[in-house]
Structure 1
Amino acid sequence: MRSEPLGITIPMGVSLPEHATLLPRLVEAGYDQFWSSETAEFDAFTPLVQAATVVPDARLGTAIAGVFQRGPALLAMNAAGLAELAPDRFVLGVGAASPAIVQRWNGVPYERPVRRVRESVEFLRAALAGEKLPGGFRLERPPATPPPILVAALRPTMLRLAGSLADGAILNWLSAEDVARVVPYVHEGGPDKRIVARVFLCPTESPDVVRAAAKRMLAGYLTVPGYAEFHRWLGREQRLEPIWRAWHAGDRRAAVGAVDDALVDELLVIGTPRECAEHVRRYVHNGVQVPVLAFLPLDPSRKVVDDAIEVAAHYRRG
Structure 2
Amino acid sequence: MTDRTVHLPVAAQPSVDTLVDLSSRAEDLGYERAWLPETWGRDAVTALTSIAHGTDEIGIGPSILNVYSRSPALMGQTAATLQEVSDGRLRLGIGPSGPAVIEGWHGVDFERPLRRTREYVDIMRKVLAGEELNYDGDIFNLAGFRLRSDPPDPAPPIDAAGMGPKAVELCGRFADGWHATVFTPDGIRERLEDLRRGAELGGRDPDDVRVTLSLTACALADGERARQLGLQHCAFYVGGMGTYYRDSLARQGHEEVANEVAAAWASGDRERANELLDEELIDDLAAVGTPEEARERLAKFESIDGVDAIAVGFPRGATVDEARETLEALAPEK
Would you call these one fold, judging by a TM-score over 0.5?
A: yes
Say if 1:274 and 1:233 are closer, same or farther in 2 by CA, change over 3 A.
same
Mapped partners of 1:32, 1:222: distance in 2: 29
Q: Which residue of 1 aligns with 2:194?
A: 185
SS in 1 for 2:214: strand
Q: Which residue of 2 aligns with 1:153?
A: 162
How do residues 186-205 of structure 1 correspond to structure 2 at under 5 angstroms? 186-188=195-197, 189=199, 190-205=206-221
Please say which of residues 63-72 and 180-189 is displaced more in the overlay: 180-189
AA at the equivalent of 1:135: A
SS in 2 for 1:111: coil
How do residues 148-297 of structure 1 correspond to structure 2 at under 5 angstroms? 148-188=157-197, 189=199, 190-223=206-239, 224-248=242-266, 251-286=269-304, 287-296=306-315
Q: Deviations over 1:135-169 (max 9, x none)?
A: 32321122122111100011111101111111120
Contact 1:36 1:62 (C-alpha < 8 Å) held by counterparts: yes
Q: Which residue of 1 aligns with 2:143?
A: 135
Mapped partners of 1:173, 1:30: distance in 2: 24
Mapped partners of 1:301, 1:42: distance in 2: 16
Mapped partners of 1:252, 1:19: distance in 2: 29
Contact 1:130 1:138 (C-alpha < 8 Å) held by counterparts: yes
SS in 2 for 1:191: helix
Say if 1:144 and 1:49 are closer, same or farther in 2 by CA, change over 3 A.
same
Mapped partners of 2:326, 2:27: distance in 1: 14
Q: Which residue of 1 aligns with 2:6?
A: 8
Q: CA deviation at 1:79?
A: 0.6
Q: Which residue of 1 aligns with 2:203?
A: none
Please say which of residues 206-215 and 174-183 is displaced more in the overlay: 206-215
AA at the equivalent of 2:309: V
Identity %: 29
**Gaps in structure 2 of 5+ consecutive residues:** 134-141, 200-205
Say if 1:280 and 1:253 are closer, same or farther in 2 by CA, change over 3 A.
closer
Matched, 1:309 2:328: yes
Equivalent pairs counted in the alignment come to: 313
Contact 1:168 1:195 (C-alpha < 8 Å) held by counterparts: yes
Contact 2:36 2:63 (C-alpha < 8 Å) held by counterparts: yes
| TM score, norm. by length of structure 1 | 0.88
Mapped partners of 2:148, 2:318: distance in 1: 48
**Gaps in structure 1 of 5+ consecutive residues:** none
Mapped partners of 2:213, 2:265: distance in 1: 27
Mapped partners of 2:45, 2:186: distance in 1: 31
Contact 2:52 2:86 (C-alpha < 8 Å) held by counterparts: yes
Q: Cα RMSD over matched residues? A: 2.4
Contact 1:36 1:45 (C-alpha < 8 Å) held by counterparts: no
Q: Which residue of 2 aligns with 1:30?
A: 30
Mapped partners of 2:177, 2:20: distance in 1: 30
Q: Which residue of 1 aligns with 2:48?
A: 48
Q: Deviations over 1:208-231 (max 9, x none)?
A: 444444444333311321112211
Q: Which residue of 1 aligns with 2:113?
A: 113
Say if 1:296 and 1:167 are closer, same or farther in 2 by CA, change over 3 A.
same
| TM score, norm. by length of structure 2 | 0.85
Say if 1:242 and 1:98 are closer, same or farther in 2 by CA, change over 3 A.
same
